[in-house]
Structure 1
Amino acid sequence: MRDLQGFVSDYIKGKKHLHLEIGVITKGDVEYHSLGNPKKKSVAAPEHRLFEIGSVTKLFTSILLLELEREQQLSADDTVGKYIHNGKNDYLNKVTLKSLATHTSGLPGVATNLSSKKNRYNPYSNYTEDDLLAFLSDADFTDQMGSFEYSNTGVGLLGYILCKVSGSTYDDLLRKYITGPLNMTETAAMLNAEQNGRFVDGHTSTGKKMPHWDTGVHEGAGAIKSSLHDMCLFVQANLNEDHPPASAIQQSHMPIMIGDSTHHYAWFSDNISDQNILWHNGGTFGFSSYLAINKEQSIGVVLLSNYCFGSASIVDEYLDTIFKFITKKDLYPLMPLDPVGNEILEAMMQR
């Protein structure tokens, strides 16, 4: 696609530190596009720069669940209580691993004992395994079970259980089941020194530089860092079945009935131009990501940005509110990445 500028012009506007990397995937072909206004040159080629992909990590965690189930190390229908032995909480004996992966466990988006006041710009960094277990010891969200509520707590807990069952680190699981077989050598939760040299700085919507996130016990919900090159490999793996994790990946695409509603293992499903797409997005205080596929035409798109949607600074929010009241315009216009990705994919589908 040669006319991407028209899709991204509004998003690029005003972002003077922006790295925006876009991958366009068609049958057997990948195009890399690098756009933005970075003042600082990167040591790596655009497609090999590393970004936080945030909640796109949840796709990987769900595939890991299905891989461990395939090996009969566990079942997606196992309850959390089978693996968390810190109390006599009946709620944990009702919630399944499947419900964690599909956001139907009733668990809140953020645990009630997680306070961002300890490290406002890196909110998960001080939350420990003991904190998670303390929260679960008397958690009871039975009334919300079966209904969709997007939960970092739930998928973080799922990643924790997968590591516990397998006796492996999260990165070890990624390498064994996904990134190793797919040759995704630039994808990890914990980066080595060489990879850190290609890790770009993240920024709020106001342009303020943010620290990279440390997700700790929540790593299954959002710890992965990756490159455009690797994420395009991941999209290709979701569009064909000629690789080792194909069975688990394809299973993650299948709709699951929970109660009266249809859900997926981490994926979201929508229609564009009367065709189904599967997608997920991600965001930290310094990065945004978006990934979508259309299996009918075997196409996909990946967008990685080192700007978040919104601002992590309450001062910036106040300034923007005052500016908007006086001028009727946003000082820091909030432009999410998802609509840009949707428009690109829709244009691909129409062609």
Structure 2
Amino acid sequence: MLSDKEGLTYEENLKKVILDRLKLENTIVNLTENHKDSYNRGFYKYNRVGSLSFGLIASPLNLENGMAGAGGIRSSGEDMLSFLKAVIGNKDDFIALSKEAFFEIDEHESMGLGWIIDKNFIEDYTIIWHNGQTMGFSCFIGIVEDKNAGFFLLTNTSDIDFNSIAKEILSIMSND
């Protein structure tokens, strides 16, 4: 809706509102020929033969405006680290606003703008997180809000349960 109102595509609006403000220069939505060599291929459906694993290459997915925010954003590790630092440090007003609860799921979980705010993921800590899997890629970003610390995981396979790995990392980060 905002993109329609502004007369911009989702990618143009994302660039204007977030990417340019945070100086994220290697984050895109649509993969063009110019970008293909700069971004990893994704793999899915691993077949195992003895001790060998063979993954099928996932076709690049370019999502249209209405779905682009649900798995269409591609980013470099460097940009993800810059984004993580900005979120932890509430670098801009829109970041602090995004981490405020606007919908309560239950007594432990609520939704921010793009974030799950979880008071039960790790006992005694507020964890802000988001994850996703799309066409051969998986990601997780998690923040221990009470400690101003966070991390992200990226893989080029969608064959991994990141939540259990993330919970272990968050548990370690939460220990004094």
- TM range, smaller chain: 0.7 to 0.9
> TM-score, structure 1 length as denominator?
0.43
Q: Which residue of 1 aligns with 2:50?
A: none
Match of 1:303, SS?
strand
State the distance in 2 between where 1:259 and 1:220 align.
Answer: 21
User: Could you tell me how far 1:281 is from its partner in structure 2?
Assistant: 0.5
Q: Deviations over 1:134-179 (max 9, x none)?
A: xxxxxxxxxxxxxxxxxxxxxxxxxxx1210111111211221111
Contact 1:186 1:195 in 2 (8 A): no
The runs of 5 or more residues in structure 2 that have no matched partner are 47-54
> What letter is aligned with 2:100?
M
Match of 1:282, SS?
strand
User: Could you tell me how far 1:259 is from its partner in structure 2?
Assistant: 9.5
Q: Deviations over 1:223-257 (max 9, x none)?
A: 11111111111111111134xxx211111111125
Q: Which residue of 1 aligns with 2:51?
A: none
Count of aligned pairs between the two proteins: 163
Q: Which residue of 1 aligns with 2:52?
A: none
Q: Which residue of 1 aligns with 2:16?
A: 176
Aligned counterpart in structure 2 of residue 211 of structure 1, from 59, 76, 93: 59
> What letter is aligned with 1:277?
I
Map residues 298-337 of structure 1 onto 2, 5 A cutoff: 298-309=148-159, 335-337=160-162
Map residues 87-102 of structure 1 onto 2, 5 A cutoff: none
> How high is the sequence identity, in percent, across the aligned residues?
29
Q: 1:278 to 1:241 in 2, by over 3 A?
A: closer
Map residues 18-57 of structure 1 onto 2, 5 A cutoff: none
Once superposed, what is the RMSD of the aligned Cα atoms? 2.0
Q: Which residue of 2 aligns with 1:90?
A: none
The structure where strand makes up a greater share of residues is: 2
Higher RCO structure, 1 or 2 (CA under 8 Å, sep 6+)? 1
Q: Which residue of 2 aligns with 1:254?
A: 100
The runs of 5 or more residues in structure 1 that have no matched partner are 1-160, 310-334
The structure with more radius of gyration = 1
Structure 1 stretches (4+) deviating beyond 3 angstroms? 191-194, 257-263
State the distance in 2 between where 1:258 and 1:292 align.
Answer: 19
State the distance in 2 between where 1:210 and 1:260 align.
Answer: 36
> TM-score, structure 2 length as denominator?
0.83
